[in-house]
Structure 1
Amino acid sequence: MTATIDQNTQAAARASDVWKVYGSGEAQVIALRGVTAEFEQSRYTAIMGPSGSGKSTLMHCLAGLDSVTRGTIHIGNTTVTGLNDNGLTKLRRDKVGFIFQQFNLLPTLTAEENILLPLSIAGRKPDPDWYQTVIKTVGLADRLHHRPNQLSGGQQQRVACARALVARPDVIFADEPTGNLDSRAGAEVLTFLRDSVRNHHQTIVMVTHDPVAASYADRVIFLADGAIVSELFEPTPETVLDTMKRIDVLAEAEN
């Protein structure tokens, strides 16, 4: 199955016939099997699937964190496949943002310093208006001078979200961003991500195992055994769960 968008809409990211193979011989593992998918600009897409389905591998390949065995990856008009280390560094600095389950904040820096760190490393100054918009959106104006150990888990993840947004990347990749949060903090982060798409035209691709988290997205792509097997638009927790159950039943029947 191919997951594509309307041809009149430019893709923020796309995978074309992507294969990812680890090892060789009897130890060979095929993580992705000819995946073709497009991720629309200013949209929120979730990637779901059973454990070992290839969802995190696909995100890592899309983001330039892992190479593909065959096929091509694009971020906007940039061909990611074949970039050297310098090219990949520039891509991740200028075009891609990341939000991870573990927050990945530096404990010795304040919230504000953590948010601005990628720009500081790149030798760039933030756009003042956009910076204020991001801070207002994440609701952390009164926490900017606190260090991570002075913030709740939800606040730390919102700092990580702001850090990803402040450079205005072409696309933000989020890997289980609510996995370490309670339901209330998780809902706050997911609402923020959804609002950043709707109000500020950000593009987000999120890997999750949670049907409730996926329901915040505009679209859900489902993987099984390294291949796209289904997709949903305007998902609800119930339709996501039903699709996951159907995929599990098909997998059991094949085994």
Structure 2
Amino acid sequence: MTPTDPRRPQVAARASDVWRVYGTGEAQVVALRGVTAEFERGAFTAIMGPSGSGKSTLMHCLAGLDTVTRGEVFVGDTKVTGLNDSGLTKLRRDKIGFIFQQFNLLPTLSAQENILLPLSIAGRKPDPAWYDTVIDTVGLRDRLSHRPAQLSGGQQQRVACARALVARPEVIFADEPTGNLDSRAGAEVLNFLRNSVREHGQTIVMVTHDPVAASHADRVVFLADGQLVSELFDPTPETVLDTMKRLDVLVEAAR
């Protein structure tokens, strides 16, 4: 297919020959080594790898939370690399949603106020129909007046998911979104993320260490030693785990 072929999947975010190096001399750490990857619009992609593999660094570079040492990063048609502080703020406000392991909810605000906070800061009002869709999707209509302390961990993370979705960003970056949840609450959040992709066309890029969480994705990309070494489509917990076991071999092959 040519780049102008209408059948070609649209790309929500991409990294092109991205390097991220911290420190100098003997203290130098190479977190990313020439990573090139595309993340399709309307798809759920998981990024996996052992500790220190560069998976969170890659996500932070894609989201404009960290700068690249070399290479280029794009979100949609926007070149993230080289944006000044105001440009990065606008990008994160208008085009990106975030879900973190720590729910990052303000304890003095209700669930509804937390969900609407990014729009309030931006001086925007929610689309009423889309807001209702998001609230029904996360199943929290009867909890909107509750503060975070009155909600379970799973409910708090669903509030965080709704907050990320309500502005209709081009892409949502999720960093270990089930890391602080028990298996049942984690499954609820993952099913919600899965449904937001299938039913509403959302784009999600999720960093995780959990093969079960990764199996909810359409595709899994694997990093090791700062390099992209493999990928899986239509993953299962078993195929993800098998690939993780072979990462050392894959790193040697990449070299």
Tell me the equivalent position of 1:206.
206
Residue aligning to 1:120: 120
Q: What corresponds to 1:197 in structure 2? A: 197
Q: State how far apart, in whole Å, the 1-side matches of 2:157 and 2:195 are.
A: 15
Give 3-state SS (helix, strand or coil) of 1:108's partner. Answer: coil
Aligned-residue offset at 1:223: 0.2
2:229–2:250 Cα contact (<8 Å) kept: no
Letter in 2 for 1:142: D
1:50 aligns with 2:47: no
Structure 2: give runs of 5+ residues left out of the alignment. 1-5
Distance in 2 between residues matched to 1:201 and 1:249, nearest whole Å: 36
TM-score (norm 2): 0.95
What is residue 176 of structure 2 aligned with on the other side? 176
- Unaligned stretches of 5+ in structure 1? 1-5
AA at the equivalent of 1:69: T
Q: Deviations over 1:130-175 (max 9, x none)?
A: 0000000000000000000000000000000000000000000000
Secondary structure of the residue aligned to 1:37 is strand
SS of 1:132 mapped into structure 2:
helix
Q: Does 1:145 align with 2:182?
A: no
CA distance in 2, matches of 1:85, 1:41: 26
Q: Give a deviation string over 1:17-69, Cα, whole Å, max 9, x none.
A: 00000000000000000000000000000000000000000000000000000
Question: Which region of structure 1 is more displaced relative to structure 2, 241-250 or 12-21?
Answer: 241-250
CA distance in 2, matches of 1:122, 1:250: 44
Query: Which residue of structure 1 lines up, in the alignment, with residue 59 of structure 2?
Result: 59
1:9 shift after superposition: 1.4
Pairing of 1:222-241 with structure 2 (within 5 A): 222-241=222-241
Cα distance in 2, alignment partners of residues 16 and 251 from structure 1: 19
Counterpart for residue 30 of structure 1: 30
**C-alpha displacement of 1:10:** 1.5
Partners of 2:178 and 2:235 in 1: CA distance: 18
Q: 1:244 corresponds to which residue?
A: 244
Identity %: 83
Name 1:3's counterpart in structure 2. none
Match of 2:69 in 1: 69
| CA distance in structure 1 between the aligned counterparts of 2:147 and 2:81, rounded to whole angstroms | 38
Tell me what 2:80 maps to. Answer: 80
TM-score, normalised on structure 1? 0.95
